Structure formats: C-alpha cells, structure tokens
C-alpha cells in the first residue's frame, strides 16, 4: 500500500491504491469528514499501527482545488519527515475554523476595506486597459464599445449613486470575489516551505496554466525527476484553488514560470487524471488499481439553476451571477459539470473490463454549503 519513504514502482503482483478528492471550495468539509471517519476506523483495525494515517494506505493521493489542499495536508511530512504533519481530524478543524476567513460571507466583510476598491484615477486606468483588451480580442464597433465603457465608467464613478452600489458593481466586474490573501497566508502557514518532492506518499494535483493555455499536472514523482516541477506545495495548492472570478490566478516560479488557475477547469474530479498518471508511471492496466473517489456534494433540486419565464435575461451578468442563490452558473458549470461524467467514464470502463469492484465513488446530494452552515453540514 502507501509507502512513506519510497516512490519506486510497486511489484506488478500488488494492487496500487488511489485516493481521489474532488474540488468544491468550502464543500471540502464533506470529504474531510469522510477521511476523518476512515482514518479513525483504520486506527482501530490496525493493531500494529495505532497512529495509522490515510497516507499509509494509499499509494497515490490526487486532489483538485480544495481536494488539492487536503492532499497536501494528508501527505506533508512533520519535522522529522517520517509521519504526516496533520491527522485527518485536523483537516476538518481547518475547514470549520479557517473557511470563514478565506470565504467572507457578508457584503460588509467584502467591502469594509476601502483599499480593495480603486480611486477614480485607478478606475479609469483599469477601464482603459479593459478597452484595449476588448479591441484586441473582438471585432466590435468602436462607437458601441466607447458607449459601453462610458456607461460603465459613469456607473462606477457617479457620485449620486450610493457608494455601496458602486463598490459592489465595481468589485463584481473588475475584481475576483475574494482577494486570495487569506488563502495564500493560511496555506503557507499550514504547509510551510515543504516541496512536492517531500510528500510521504505520491501525490497528483491538476492545475491549469493560463499563459500556456494547457493543463499542468503536478506530481511528487515528476518533482523528484524534474526540478522545474518541484514547487512549494503551498504554491501548488493556491494555484489549483484559484477559481476564476472567485480568486486571482496564482503566479510563482521554480526554474520556470507558472501562471495558474483552478485545476477544476479541466479535472475537478481528478480520478481519471490519477488513473492516467499511475498507468504511465507503472505500466500496468486497470485491474491492478483500487480507486476511492470522494465527491464534495452535488446540488439537490432546490439549489439548481432554472431558465425562468424569460430566457432573454440570460446575458453575461446572469451567467456570472444568479441572484436567487447568489451562485455563478458559468463558473459552476465549467468547474463541476464534468465530475459525474468522469465517474461514469471510469465506472463504465472498469465494469466492461470486469473490474467494477476496483472503483468506488462516494458522492452525496446536498444543498448549497456556506461558511455559516458548515457545522450543520457535518450531519450529511
């Protein structure tokens, strides 16, 4: 099973175990509770290892976005580099205590710092830059563009419009929902300066590079072979969590530059990525794989989007902000629509090949989870 001291390929006669954890922001509380219960059960069953950890039982742990953070916390070594720095129960505690800091819920929290909103000169500069980008990317009538920008400039700077409204509009259109400072600080505080190559079992974390415009799959095995891929684990965690419109993209460098956005853009459910990476590394087929895939909860009927009586209202703003549940249809669809399709692909292939017992997907139906109802969500 998992090996904390070696990344050499397993004997071909052995099974290779894979844990896959979906992305999902604050909904990470769901798989964290599952992992807490699993680790507790393993500690009771393994009489020879009362300090049993998740990393002891999985050869590979893959995670996207919030799942990437869990992956790091499960595999980052302590000071003597022999055991994981965190127990699974510590991850539950992290979500309960730190999520309100990473995802402030009230408008007052989001807007209380005037420095988050630019002055008029900075606003004009941002709008001028936006105009240039639009002109470069789209064949749009200059008069129409000038009119749109003038209207937006007026709305954002007009003194008779309440400051609260101007701030809310400006932040929605020009900035990510969260500045990402708390996310970066807390992840660095928890994970420290550890590198991917330090992981106690092999890890796989998908990200998307917006400059190269392609997925970048970080793994501890790649990190041990290629110094350019041996990044700080904290940087990879922030990169895979940088959901468009929610958090800013994350830039860092090793021997090369990375410009990363949320790994959920290509693999919010990283199980298929994990299977491909493992099969490339070990040159085996699927019958030697045992996969546990943990979801972060799928929306129930009360939390889904509906077209409504007037489909013509579905312009860009509607796709970005759905007022009925304060969600973002475009981002939610981009990052989660493929989750169950990936599960369907794997389960269908495994079933066809007679390996259906080698793959288990755990997913629950849940209403929208927010920081204020995190304690209640533990009942799921």
- By annotation, the residues acting in catalysis are 65, 262
Q: Do the bridges between strand 250-253 and strand 298-299 make them parallel or antiparallel, or are there none, so unpaired?
A: unpaired
Non-local (6+) Cβ contacts of 323 within 8 A are none
Which helix (DSSP H) or strand (DSSP E) does residue 361 occupy? strand 359-362
List of residues 6+ apart from 13 with CB closer than 8 A: none
3-state secondary structure of 245: coil
CA 119 to chain centre: 32
Q: How far is CA 211 from the centre of its chain?
A: 19
CA distance 145 to 123: 17
Residues 6+ apart with CB under 8 A from 343: 269, 271, 293, 361, 363
In sequence order, the 6+-apart residues with CB closer than 8 A to the CB of 370 are 26, 103, 105
């Amino acid at each position: 099973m998992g090996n904390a001291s070696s990344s050499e390929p397993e004997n071909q006669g052995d099974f290779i175990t894979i844990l896959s954890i979906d992305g999902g922001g604050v909904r990470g509380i769901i798989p964290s509770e599952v992992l807490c219960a699993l680790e507790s059960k393993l500690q009771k069953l393994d009489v020879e290892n009362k300090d049993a950890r998740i990393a002891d039982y999985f050869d590979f742990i893959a995670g996207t976005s919030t799942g990437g953070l869990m992956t790091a916390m499960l595999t980052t070594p302590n000071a003597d580099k022999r055991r994981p720095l965190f127990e699974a129960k510590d991850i539950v505690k992290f979500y309960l205590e730190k999520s309100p800091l990473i995802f402030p819920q009230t408008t007052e929290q989001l807007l209380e710092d005037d420095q988050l909103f630019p002055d008029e000169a900075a606003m004009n500069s941002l709008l001028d830059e936006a105009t240039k980008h639009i002109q470069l990317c789209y064949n749009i009538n200059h008069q129409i563009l000038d009119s749109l920008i003038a209207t937006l400039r007026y709305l954002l700077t007009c003194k008779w419009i309440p400051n609260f409204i101007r701030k809310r509009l400006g932040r929605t259109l020009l900035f990510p929902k969260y500045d990402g400072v708390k996310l970066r600080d807390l992840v660095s505080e928890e994970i420290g300066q550890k590198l991917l190559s330090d992981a106690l079992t092999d890890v796989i974390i998908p990200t998307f590079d917006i400059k190269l415009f392609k997925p970048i799959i970080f793994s501890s095995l790649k990190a041990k072979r290629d110094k350019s891929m041996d990044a700080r684990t904290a940087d990879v965690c922030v990169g895979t969590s940088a959901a468009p419109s929610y958090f800013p993209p994350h830039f860092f460098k090793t021997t090369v530059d990375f410009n990363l956005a949320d790994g959920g853009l290509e693999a919010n459910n990283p199980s298929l990525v994990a299977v491909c990476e493992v099969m490339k590394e070990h040159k085996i087929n699927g019958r030697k794989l045992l996969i546990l895939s943990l979801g972060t909860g799928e929306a129930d009927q009360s939390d889904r989007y509906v077209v409504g009586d007037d489909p013509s209202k579905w312009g860009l703003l509607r796709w970005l902000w759905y007022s009925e549940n304060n969600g973002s249809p475009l981002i939610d669809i981009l990052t989660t629509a493929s989750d169950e399709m990936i599960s369907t692909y794997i389960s269908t292939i495994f079933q066809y090949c007679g390996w259906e017992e080698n793959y288990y997907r755990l997913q629950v139906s849940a209403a929208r989870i927010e920081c204020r109802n995190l304690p209640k969500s533990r009942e799921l």
